[in-house]
């Protein structure tokens, strides 16, 4: 008698575990996480630049995006300016300073175009929201 009772209890636990996993997964699907892909963002920006690409190469796009991400991830770089803004003037200024220091003199319109398209990418994947009123 103990065998069938043990088997029934074990099956109940397995069923309960399966229901819990299904419930957890269904909750996750209602609130999908935004996942930033470096390569995806480069491709998004590259495609958005169009055929002329403003005289940039993919390596230039990568470099500009990396410098902006570095700026956004380092609070000591932006604390004096207030909250960081993706594609903002302070980020563009930082990117330009880094590019000049590294021997890659990008024009402001090149930097702003890349940063604008990166902001569009982040908005498209749900990583950032619309601007909030003060």
Mean pLDDT of 48-76: 90
pLDDT bin (cut points 50, 70, 90) of residue 58 is very high
Confidence (pLDDT) at 30: 60
Distance, in Å, from the CA atom of 25 to the CA atom of 37, rounded to the nearest integer, reads 22
Cβ 68 vs Cβ 113: under 8 Å = no
Mean pLDDT of 26-44: 75
pLDDT at residue 31 is higher than 60: no
pLDDT at residue 130 is higher than 80: no
Confidence (pLDDT) at 32: 62
């Amino acid at each position: 008698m103990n065998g069938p009772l043990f088997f029934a209890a074990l099956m109940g636990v397995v069923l309960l575990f399966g229901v819990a996993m299904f419930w957890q997964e269904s909750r996750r699907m209602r609130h999908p996480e935004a996942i930033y892909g470096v390569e995806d963002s480069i491709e998004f920006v590259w495609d958005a630049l169009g055929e002329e690409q403003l005289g940039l190469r993919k390596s230039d796009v990568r470099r500009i995006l990396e410098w902006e991400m570095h700026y956004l991830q380092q609070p000591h770089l932006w604390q004096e300016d207030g909250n960081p803004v993706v594609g903002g003037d302070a980020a563009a200024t930082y990117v330009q300073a880094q590019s000049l220091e590294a021997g890659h003199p990008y024009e402001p319109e090149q930097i702003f175009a890349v940063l604008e398209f990166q902001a569009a990418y982040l908005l498209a994947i749900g990583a950032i929201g619309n601007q909030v009123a003060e």
